[in-house]
Every structure is written in structure tokens, then in C-alpha cells.
Amino acid sequence: MTSELPEMRASDAERERCAEVLREAVSEGRLTMEEFDQRLDSVYRARTRGELEPLTRDLPEASGRTATEAVAPARGGWAARIGRRASSRTGIAIMGGFSRRGPWTVPRRFRCLALMGGGDIDLREAWFEEREVVISAYAIMGGVSVTVPPGVEVEVRGVGIMGGFDQSNSGPGDPGAPRVVVTGLAFWGGVDVRSKPLPDKDKDKDKKTS
């Protein structure tokens, strides 16, 4: 995919997948710390897929595939989506924005700040480091949106002060599904938690062709 479209813009999720491969490689002794630091810096500076591909070309992914062959998590069961190494642990938006979406791995605790900015956390295609994960969201004159797939157990514990912390989607999930706890503070801002399925791509194609 990367070699076919070298000039296509890289997404945040693709950068995080490459960073995860580098962290795995240094922990296994495949990279020195100096090599790891240099490559990780290049990952976060990369603008296109073509710039990312050489950084992990000589490294296996956790499953034995190269990073550029990584695909979305298996949808056949929740167990297949729990127990991977976390790929991103923080998100910061200061008069700007951050996004975590697509195939990424949610850590046991993810911390984020939106200060006069916005954050988008989408777990619908994500893996989970552990069955229970905690998202600590702080929205100060800004907003954070958390989207979970149907069937995930959600508990919202956050506090809103002259702001909103949406608790309408708290509730039990499917047996064996991940548990997502959303906590933190919304001050003159808002944290929105919603359950939403992924679009049906086949149906979307049918609509376009009809």
C-alpha cells in the first residue's frame, strides 16, 4: 500500500503504527537506542506514506508482518482485540487539535488535554492493551470526543464545571468486551462520549453506484 501511493499523506494512526513497531524492535534488541530515537523522530516528522515506509521496512510487526501490511483489528471476537502493546498514551491540543482513530492500540490509561482546541478519540477500529482502559480527558475551553463501538462497556465519571461531561452512553457491554472508563474535567468545555458503529462500506459503495 505504501509503495503504491508514496505521495499520499500519512495519517496519525499510520504514524502511531510505525512508532509501535519501533518500540517493539528496540525492546527485542533489533534497534539500538540511538537508532530508535532517530527513527522515532523521523516518524513524527513524516508527512507522507513514502517517508514512513523505509523506517520500518527491515522490521517485523508483532504478528510477523511488516508495518505497512498492518490491517484493521479482527472483528470476529473481542478477545482478538485485547492484549496488544499500546501505541499512543497521550493527546494534546492547545489551540489546535489531535486525533486518534483507525487501527491503533489504546493503552491501559490514555491522558489527553484540549486547551482551546479539540481532540477526537475513535475506538471503533482500535485494539486494547487491557480489557479495562481509562481515558482521562481534560477539556478547558475546548472539547474532546470519544467514540466507542457498540457492545463496549462504558462508564463515565467526569465532572463538568461551566461545561458538559456527557454521561448518556454509560452502560454495560457484551460479555468479554472491553470496558472503557472516561474520567476527567470539562471547564468551559465539553467531553462527548458516544457509541456508534463503523459505516458499512459495502452499502456506501452500493449507494454511490445506484
53 and 86 share one domain = no
Asked which of 69, 95, 114 is the last residue of a domain, the reply is 69
> How many Å from the N-terminal Cα to the C-terminal Cα in the chain?
28
Q: Which residues, in sequence order, are CB contacts of 190 under 8 Å at separation 6+?
A: 139, 143, 144, 160, 163, 164, 165, 166
112 - beta bridge partners?
A: 91, 137
| Residue 184 φ/ψ region, left for φ over 0, alpha for ψ in the -120 to 50 degree band, beta for the rest | left
Residue pointed to by grid coordinates 516518524 = 43
Q: What is the pLDDT of residue 48?
A: 87
82 and 63 share one domain = no
Helix H or strand E encompassing 115: strand 109-115
Asked which of 45, 69, 93 is the last residue of a domain, the reply is 69
d(CA 87, CA 15): 10
The C-alpha angle 96, 118, 17, rounded to 5 degrees, equals 85
Q: Order the strands of the 143-148 sheet from edge to edge.
A: 97-100, 118-122, 143-148, 190-195, 164-165
90 and 190 share one domain = yes
Residue pointed to by grid coordinates 500500500 = 1
Q: Is residue 183 part of a domain?
A: yes
138 - beta bridge partners?
A: 113, 185
90 and 121 share one domain = yes
34 and 94 share one domain = no
Q: What is the pLDDT of residue 155?
A: 93
Residue pointed to by grid coordinates 476527567 = 184
Q: What is the pLDDT of residue 97?
A: 92
- The one-character DSSP state at 134 is E
54 and 119 share one domain = no
pLDDT in tens, the chain (210 residues): 444 445 778 877 778 778 878 877 776 778 888 888 888 889 888 888 888 888 988 887 544 444 443 333 444 478 888 988 888 899 999 999 999 988 889 999 999 999 999 999 999 989 999 999 999 999 999 999 999 998 899 999 889 898 888 777 788 888 889 999 999 999 999 999 999 887 764 444 444 444
Q: Is residue 206 part of a domain?
A: no
Residues in the chain: 210
142 and 168 share one domain = yes
Q: What is the pLDDT of residue 2?
A: 42
Helix H or strand E encompassing 194: strand 190-195
Taking the whole predicted model, whether its pTM rises above 0.75 is answered as no
Q: What is the pLDDT of residue 103?
A: 83
106 and 170 share one domain = yes
Q: What is the pLDDT of residue 196?
A: 87
Q: Give the other-Cβ count within 10 Å of 143's Cβ.
A: 20
- Alpha-helical segments (H) within 96-199: none
134 and 163 share one domain = yes
Q: Which of 28, 34, 7, 25 lies closest to 66 in space, CA to CA?
A: 25
What domain range is 56 assigned to?
12-69
d(CA 178, CA 131): 5
